Structure 1
Amino acid sequence: MTVHDQQGQVTASKPMNEFVQGGPVLLASIVGVYASLATLPFYAVQSLFGPLEAAFGWSRTEVSTAITLMGIGNLLSSYVAGVVTDRLGSRPVALVSGLLLALSLYILTLNNGDLKQFWLGYFLMTIAAAGTLPLTYTRAINQWFDRARGLALGLTLLGTSLAAITLPILYRLGVDEFGWKGVFYVAIGLILVLWLPVFLLLFRDRVQVRDAQALAALPGVSLKEAAGTGTFWKMGIAFFLVTFAMSGIAIHIIAMMTDNGMSKGQAAQIASLIGVSILVSRLAVGYLIDKFHAPPIAAACFAIPAIGCYLLMGGGHGPAVVAVILVGVALGAELDLIAFFTSRYFGMKNYGKIYGWQYVFYTLGAGISPLAFGMAYDTLKSYDLVLIISSVGLVIAGILMLTLPRYQKAEA
């Protein structure tokens, strides 16, 4: 079954008209991704290594394990979140999950040094707040945009870029004022003061779940049909490999640079370039995949950052800057491409279910890598081995992207 030639059934608007009609939803989605499970607790861990070691004596591996448990939680909840979103719509799922995310973050502030309680809090938060993941917002964006879909998805996922740029700074201010708990106070404030009012005012689904006729008319294949294609598995493996490399580096990047002799201030300044690079990558990739066949673009975005892995092993200010920029390129492309490829190859009828499984691959990589990077350092006192493994994985991911078919041949 082909789906690419049916996409116009969702919307036949010109790109500019799509932005006029879907602009409010796009803005709400940017804010939603910014203040989500994918960003707030993830970047919190990066800012908690030092404060939690000072407060409770927890090692980098122990703190990083929280991200691994988030990955396990996502394995359990991503598909369920996709099913529920397909059935109820994006708005109710995101609203309930956003409020549960704020509650979960508050519960984490009640910890008095119990590591297992910290891990359990991160794991349960992932289950409770799964509806705030990009799945929910990209589903709505894919409904509102067709001809400008790539750019709209790139803009939506700018929320992660803005998070990478601003959260380390905001979290540092929170730590300075309130200690380690300040990280979570800042996150809660962003949800309640920024995300909630914007979401309530601007976000809505284009196709309402009560409109059975409109839902039935959506193009697409079933999850079983999608999983029976090589395309589905090539995508999943590639996203796993890229996320393994990029998530581990993103979490440990400041520690890598300080281990090589940089001050914490210098390392934080260079690390902030990841957000800038992600931002540029999101916009550039979104624009390009609307104009050209996406797999070769994906291949370049995934394979070239392998160079960054080797640069991080050498130390030095200049190589670190280049490495961080290259890491940002891959981070900026991956989530856009999950959403774009899912909609183009498999359609919108079961988008939530299929995206949910692709996100399982993504979160599996994101969950394993921080622990693997932390264990590599704790065991070898060096990140070199895991960086070499990551670089090989990035090259393999790029090759897999080059083997993807034209959209109308997704069954191949």
Structure 2
Amino acid sequence: MEIAIAAGQGRPATNEFAEGWRVLVASLLGIGCGLAAIPFYTVGVFAPYLADEFGWSFGQIMAGLTITTVVVIVAAPAAGVLCDKYGTRRVAISSLVMFGLAYISLATLGDSLIRFYVTWAIVATLGAGTLPITFTRTVNQWFDRHRGVALGVAMTGTGVFGVLCKPLLAWVIGSYGWRAGYVALGLLPLALALPAVLLLFREPDSTSSHQCPNTSERLTGMTKGEALRQWRFWLIAVVLLPISFSLAGAVPNLEPILLDRGIDQATILTLTPLVGLTAIAGRIVGGWLLDKFWAPAVAFVLLGAPAISCVILAGAQLDPGMARFAILLLGFALGIEYDVVAYLTSRYFGMKSYSAIYSIFYVCFATGAGFGPLIFGLIRDWSQDFAPALLSAAAALPICAGAFLFLGRYPHLK
């Protein structure tokens, strides 16, 4: 089993970033202003205002995210099929428009909880085309030798939005109210991402191979049906559920975990932002590692290492230094997870039905991530401690990440 197999080995060197930087900029903005980032980083900001306005509990408000996850299970594969059939540019443009308008409609909410949930279902359905499924397909086509770094750059959109969105929302809501906050968020895909996609986002032109180093790769690889008959497909799909469950279960619960371990609120406020910042670094550094080394080995190390974090956080006492180390490992892993899946999809299954195949993996990851925080919280309620959930995650992460090592060499795809 070869460990240091560089991606794109044997291909002529090309200045991929000189040709593909436009696609990267558009993808970064599209992902950052899309369904993968906006709801999950901002729902907590609106929760106190909605609870005060309509008398809803925090649990009822957070259920909107669960509805989003459930809808994505169906909508993401559908978006993937549309991308493979009609092209990513058309899907991205139409979805950004509909997603932005649907998000703005949240500003018209009344006291109907049912309408609140239905609106979230509509937002998730119309916004599925803004998920990384759409943008990473085109990034993979433009980049080969530097594919890992390119995917990392594109996916930093979620981290950048996570860092910048709360100060923006705090100013808008403080000045104009929570309804204006929803309008501001809905305008981001319309005013920021949409123009970038219209001007910069292009799929490779099969009639002009010099425009893209990977035009010949566009139609190589497996169909969705062929991939579903591959044991490698099912290995990846199965291990993604517990990995995403373990990572996503711990991170949203960091504040109560740290409080349980005796760390004061002021110190916690200095520690938790490290997740977003480290995730950005994880995408870039992890992408570079994917380009230099065998991707399953990189996945094993980076996605298995947070087991150490879970063990540290499960301890009865925790000092800020150890907490900082644990959070850094978790954040780094969160920064590479979707990049690894996108990279493995392109290398083991090719680009012929990339979006349809990747969308299934995305659903597996999103399912674990969607239910992880809830189950971690329920375990805390039942046992009065996060330790059982954290120790279970510590056991699952290295075992499941180790399963990637069985994938073997990258196949020669036709």
Secondary structure at the counterpart of residue 144 of structure 2 = coil
Cα distance, 1:31 vs structure 2:
1.1
Whole-angstrom distance in 2 between the partners of 1:182 and 1:322: 38
Structure 1 stretches lacking a partner, 5+ long: none
- Distance in structure 1 (CA, Å) of the matches to 2:175 and 2:319: 32
Contact 2:141 2:218 in 1 (8 A): no
CA distance in 2, matches of 1:67, 1:275: 19
Among the aligned pairs, what percent are the same residue? 34
Structure 2 equivalent of residue 306 of structure 1: 307
Report the Cα distance in structure 2 between the residues aligned to 1:353 and 1:377, rounded to whole angstroms.
37
Match in the other structure for 1:21: 19
1:11-410 to structure 2, matched below 5 A, reads 14-15=13-14, 17-181=15-179, 183-207=181-205, 218-258=219-259, 266-313=267-314, 314-408=317-411
Q: Displacement, 1:307?
A: 1.9
* Partner Cα distance (2:183, 2:234) in 1: 40
Give, in angstroms, the shift of residue 178 of structure 1.
Answer: 4.5
Q: CA RMSD in A?
A: 2.9
For the Cα contact (< 8 Å) 2:245–2:368, is it kept in 1? yes
> Would you say the 8 A contact 2:100–2:188 is kept in 1?
no
The CA deviation at 1:71 is 1.5
Query: What is the identity, as a one-letter code, of the residue corresponding to 1:294?
Result: A
Residue 386 of structure 1: how far off its partner (Å):
2.6
- The answer to whether the 8 Å contact 2:253/2:373 transfers is yes
Change (3 A) 1:262 1:59: farther
Q: How many angstroms does 1:335 deviate by?
A: 0.6
Q: Do the aligned residues in 2 keep the contact of 1:68 with 1:369 (CA within 8 Å)?
A: no
- Matched to 1:114, the amino acid is S
Instruction: Name the SS for the 1:345 alignment partner.
Output: helix
Counterpart-to-counterpart distance in 2, 1:207 and 1:263:
56
In 2 relative to 1, CA 259–164 (structure 1 residues): closer, same or farther, beyond 3 Å? Answer: farther
2:109 is aligned with what amino acid? N
Supply the distance in 1 between the matched residues of 2:168 and 2:387 (Cα, whole angstroms). Answer: 30
Contact kept, 8 Å, 1:274 with 1:328, in 2: the verdict is: yes
Measured at CA, do residues 374 and 176 of structure 1 come closer, stay the same or move farther in structure 2, by a change above 3 Å?
farther
Give the stretch that moved more between structures: 236-245 or 370-379: 370-379
Q: Residues 341-389 of structure 1: CA distance to partner in whole angstroms, max 9, x if unpaired?
A: 0010001011111111111111111222233234334555543333233
Asked if the contact 1:43–1:251 (Cα under 8 Å) also holds between the matched residues in 2, the reply is no
Give the SS at the match of 1:408. coil
How far has the Cα of 1:182 moved from its partner? 5.2
In structure 2, list runs of 5 or more residues that go unmatched.
210-214
Cα displacement (A) at 1:266: 4.3
For residues 119 and 373 of structure 1, the distance between their equivalents in structure 2, rounded to whole angstroms, comes to 23
Contact 1:207 1:215 in 2 (8 A): no
How far has the Cα of 1:334 moved from its partner?
0.8
Q: Is residue 155–residue 283 contact of structure 2 (8 Å, CA) maintained in 1?
A: yes
How many Å separate the matches in 2 of 1:116 and 1:73?
Answer: 15
Alpha carbons of structure 1 residues 326 and 56: separation in structure 2 relative to 1, 3 Å: farther
Structure 2 distance, partners of 1:185, 1:268, is: 28
Q: Alignment length, in residue pairs?
A: 400
**In structure 1, what is the Cα distance between the partners aligned to 2:117 and 2:175?**
24
8 Å contact from structure 2 (residues 217, 351) kept in 1: no
TM-score by length of 1: 0.87
Tell me if structure 2 keeps the 8 A contact 1:46–1:251: no
CA offset digits 1:243-282 (Å, max 9, x no partner):
2122233333344445656566643432221121111111
Moved more, 45-54 or 74-83: 45-54
Point out the more displaced range, 264-273 or 191-200: 264-273
Q: What is the alpha-carbon distance in structure 2 between the residues aligned to residue 356 and residue 136 of structure 1?
A: 9
The structure-2 alpha-carbon separation of the partners of 1:49 and 1:247, relative to structure 1 and needing over 3 Å to count, comes to: farther
Higher relative contact order (CA 8 A, sep 6+): 1
Q: For each residue in 1:95-120, what CA deviation from the matched residue of structure 2 results, as whole angstroms up to 9, or x when unmatched? A: 11111111121222222343333222
SS in 2 for 1:306: helix
Q: Which residue of 1 aligns with 2:212?
A: none
3-state secondary structure, aligned to 1:205:
coil
**Cα gap change, 1:33 to 1:329, in 2 (>3 Å):** same
Cα contact 1:24–1:203 (8 A) shared by 2 = yes
Cα distance in 2, alignment partners of residues 266 and 173 from structure 1 = 24
Deviation at 1:137, TM superposition (A): 0.5
Residues 242 and 330 in structure 1, CA contact (< 8 A), matched pair in contact too: no
Q: C-alpha displacement at 1:233, in angstroms? A: 1.4
Q: Deviations over 1:4-26 (max 9, x none)?
A: x9x97xx95624x2111111111
